[in-house]
Amino acid sequence: MQRLFRHWLVILFWLSISFVIVRISNVVAAEKSETPIIVDFASGTVRGVKVRGLITDIEQAIGVSRIKKKIEYLEGEPSVVYVILFGNHKIYSHWNAFSYTDPIFKTKEGLGVGSKVADFNRFYGKGRIAESEGPGVAIYYRISDKQFCLETDHIIGEKRTIEAYSNSKVKEIWVW
């Protein structure tokens, strides 16, 4: 009888552990499968909200409580940046552009932070490589009269061609 009782305790213990694992894996899966927030480079919109423009217009569209004012330093000079919240996800509205590093923000083609440069080249044509203000490389693209920029890591020892960076992953995106 004692042996049977111990056997049931072991079964209950393993069932409890497996229940906890299933619950945790569902939570993690839900976080990873969040619906992308669509960014349109040409119109300067995020989830249909025009974020390339006046901050007062953005406040009217999404509410003042979802916008925080901060100071950033560009080339050593203070500059105002607004952090625009889409749930827990952030877009940074600078004086002349907006930027983001969160992979939840995607184009309608599914491109964003974490995508390869080659994927952007396929949809937007070959980008133009330029020096970045940080340690990486900036790759610029034009869409009619607008432009956006991908930031990726610098490849040491490589020629600075778009082909050399085609497999590089995007770390940050700027939209003008």
Fold of the 37-175 domain: protein yfey like fold (2.60.460)
Q: What pLDDT does residue 135 have?
A: 74
Which residue is listed with tokens 């919109």?
Answer: 45
Per-residue pLDDT of 80-121, as tens digits, reads 999 999 999 999 999 899 999 999 999 999 999 999 999 999
Q: What pLDDT does residue 17 have?
A: 54
Per-residue pLDDT of 159-170, as tens digits, reads 778 999 999 999
Per-residue pLDDT of 51-88, as tens digits, reads 988 999 999 999 999 999 999 988 889 999 999 999 99
Nearest to 94 by CA among 175, 4, 8: 175
Q: Is the model's pTM score more than 0.75?
A: yes
Q: How far apart are CA 9 and CA 3, in angstroms?
A: 10
CB 155 within 8 A of CB 101: no
- Categorise residue 65: left if φ over 0, alpha if ψ from -120 to 50, beta otherwise: alpha
